[in-house]
C-alpha cells in the first residue's frame, strides 16, 4: 500500500451527530487536527444545522441532508481559499452542529413582586411563574453572538438570560395592561401571547425565538390573599349579624363536645354569655344594632293555675280551683287534714302541708271569745 493510499485512508470521514442529552444546543465535531478529507460525507439530520468555520471565519451553513464535502458544494469556503476544482488534499476546518428543535419545559418566574395599579384594590404586588420554549432560528447568528468557541453549548448557559428578558417584558406588559387582578386568571392565555410577542425582537438578536410561553399562575402576597379571603367570606356570609350568631352557635357546639374537660366547659359557658350579649345587642333575629324593631315582642303567656282534687272517705272529687278551695275552707268543708292532689305533686298530701294552700287557713279569723269575756 502506497503512502498516498495510507493518507487517503487516514482522512476518510463520515461526519454526523446524534444527541441524547435533550439540552445540548451546539456541539463541535471532534477531529484530530481538524483535518477533514476532501469528499467526506456530511449527514445533517432533521432538526439540525451544520456550520463550517474555517480559520476563524464562518464559511458555510448546511441544512438537513447528505453532502459530499467538495468545492462545488462549499462555494463560500472555496472562495475564501481560492481553491480550484482540482484540489484534493485535506483541509482544516471546524464543524459545529446546531440543534434547531424546540427546547420545551423551561421554567420562569418573578424573583421579586411586580407592582401594578389595580382599578379595584389600588397598588398591588403580583408574582407569576410558568414555562416556555426556545428554538434556534438563525444558527449562524447564534454561533457568532452566543456560542463563540464553546465546544458544547447547553440550554442552561442561555436560559438565565432569556428568563431575565422574559420577566422584564412580563412586568411591563402586566403593569400596562389594566386588567384587574381578579380577571387575570381568565386572561393568562392572552397575557402569555402578548409577552411572547414583546420579547420576540429581543431574543431574535441572539438568533432565537420563543414559540410558546405559558403563565401557569399569578398570585398575590400571602397577607393580601388572606385579606381577600376574609372579604370573600364576608360576602358569602351575607347578613353579618346572623353570621355572628351562627358562628357563636357553632363554637358553642364544638365546646359542648369537649364537655369532659373543665376547660371545654369554661369555654362553652364563656361563649354562651358572649352569644347572649350579642343577641341582646342585635335585638330580634337578623336585626342589626341601632335599628328600629319592626314590631314589639309579645309578652309571655300567663302561667296556668293549678286545679286540685280532694279525697274523702275513699272517694275523690274535683277538680277545684284555688278560689273554690278558699270558699270551702271558710265553710269548714276543707281543713288542714284534708287530702289534696294536683298535677306534678308527688302523691296525696294534707292541705295544710301544701305551701300554696296553707295560706287559705291563715286568713280565717280565730274563734270568737266567750260571751262573758266580751268587752
Q: Does residue 225 carry a pLDDT above 70?
A: yes
Tens of pLDDT, residues 16-73:
899 888 889 999 987 665 567 777 888 999 999 999 887 778 888 899 999 887 755 5
As given in the structure block, the three cell numbers for residue 45 are 439530520
Listed in sequence order, the residues at least 6 apart from 65 whose beta carbon sits closer than 8 Å to its beta carbon are 44
Mean pLDDT in residue range 212-236: 77
Beta strands in the chain (DSSP E): 14-15, 24-28, 35-36, 41-44, 48-54, 57-62, 65-68, 91-92, 94-99, 103-109, 114-118, 122-136, 152-154, 208-219, 308-312, 315-320, 339-341, 349-350
- The rounded percent of the chain whose pLDDT value lies above 70 is 69
Please give the pLDDT value at position 2: 41
As given in the structure block, the three cell numbers for residue 38 are 476532501
Q: Which of the pair, 317 or 367, is modelled with greater confidence? A: 317
Average pLDDT, the chain: 76
Please give the pLDDT value at position 80: 47
Torsion of CA 116, 117, 119, 121, to 10 degrees: 80
CA distance 341 to 310: 7
Is the separation of the CB atoms in 49 and 97 below 8 Å? yes
Cα of 297 vs its chain's centroid, Å: 47
Tens of pLDDT, residues 93-152:
788 999 999 999 899 998 888 888 887 778 888 889 999 999 999 999 999 988 888 888
Tens of pLDDT, residues 140-199:
999 998 888 888 899 999 999 999 999 988 888 888 877 888 788 788 888 888 888 889
Please give the pLDDT value at position 8: 43
Listed in sequence order, the residues at least 6 apart from 319 whose beta carbon sits closer than 8 Å to its beta carbon are 307, 308, 309
As given in the structure block, the three cell numbers for residue 187 are 386572561
Q: Which of the pair, 243 or 62, is modelled with greater confidence? A: 62
pTM comes to: 0.54
Please give the pLDDT value at position 151: 85
Mean pLDDT in residue range 352-371: 71
Amino acid at each position: 500500500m502506497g503512502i498516498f493510499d495510507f493518507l487517503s485512508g487516514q482522512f476518510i470521514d463520515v461526519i454526523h451527530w446524534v444527541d441524547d442529552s435533550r439540552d445540548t444546543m451546539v456541539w463541535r465535531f471532534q477531529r484530530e487536527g481538524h483535518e477533514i478529507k476532501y469528499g467526506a460525507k456530511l449527514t445533517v439530520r432533521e432538526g439540525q444545522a451544520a456550520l463550517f468555520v474555517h480559520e476563524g471565519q464562518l464559511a458555510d451553513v448546511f441544512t438537513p441532508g447528505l453532502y459530499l464535502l467538495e468545492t462545488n458544494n462549499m462555494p463560500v469556503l472555496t472562495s475564501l481559499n481560492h481553491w480550484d476544482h482540482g484540489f484534493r488534499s485535506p483541509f482544516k476546518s471546524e464543524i459545529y452542529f446546531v440543534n434547531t428543535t424546540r427546547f420545551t419545559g423551561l421554567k420562569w418566574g418573578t424573583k421579586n413582586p411586580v407592582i401594578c395599579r389595580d382599578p379595584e384594590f389600588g397598588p398591588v404586588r403580583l408574582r407569576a411563574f410558568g414555562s416556555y420554549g426556545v428554538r434556534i432560528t438563525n444558527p449562524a447568528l447564534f454561533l457568532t453572538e452566543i456560542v463563540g468557541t464553546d465546544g458544547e453549548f447547553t440550554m442552561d448557559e442561555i436560559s438565565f438570560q432569556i428568563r431575565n428578558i422574559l420577566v422584564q417584558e412580563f412586568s411591563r406588559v402586566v403593569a400596562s395592561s389594566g386588567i384587574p387582578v381578579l380577571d387575570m386568571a381568565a386572561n393568562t392565555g392572552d397575557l402569555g401571547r402578548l409577552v411572547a410577542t414583546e420579547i420576540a425582537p429581543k431574543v431574535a438578536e441572539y438568533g432565537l425565538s420563543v414559540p410558546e410561553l405559558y403563565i401557569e399562575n399569578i398570585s398575590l402576597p400571602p397577607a393580601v390573599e388572606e385579606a381577600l379571603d376574609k372579604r370573600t367570606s364576608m360576602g358569602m356570609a351575607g347578613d353579618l349579624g346572623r353570621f355572628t350568631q351562627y358562628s357563636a352557635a357553632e363554637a358553642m357546639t364544638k365546646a359542648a363536645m369537649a364537655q369532659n374537660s373543665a376547660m371545654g366547659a369554661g369555654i362553652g359557658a364563656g361563649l354562651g354569655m358572649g352569644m347572649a350579649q350579642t343577641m341582646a345587642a342585635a335585638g330580634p333575629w337578623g336585626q342589626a344594632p341601632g335599628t328600629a324593631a319592626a314590631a314589639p315582642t309579645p309578652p309571655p303567656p300567663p302561667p296556668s293555675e293549678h286545679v286540685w282534687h280532694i279525697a274523702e272517705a275513699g272517694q275523690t272529687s274535683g277538680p277545684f280551683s284555688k278560689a273554690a278551695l278558699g270558699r270551702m275552707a271558710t265553710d269548714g268543708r276543707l281543713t288542714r287534714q284534708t287530702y289534696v292532689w294536683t298535677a306534678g305533686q308527688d302523691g296525696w298530701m294534707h292541705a295544710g302541708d301544701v305551701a300554696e294552700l296553707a295560706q287559705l287557713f291563715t286568713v280565717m279569723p280565730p274563734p270568737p271569745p266567750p260571751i262573758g269575756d266580751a268587752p
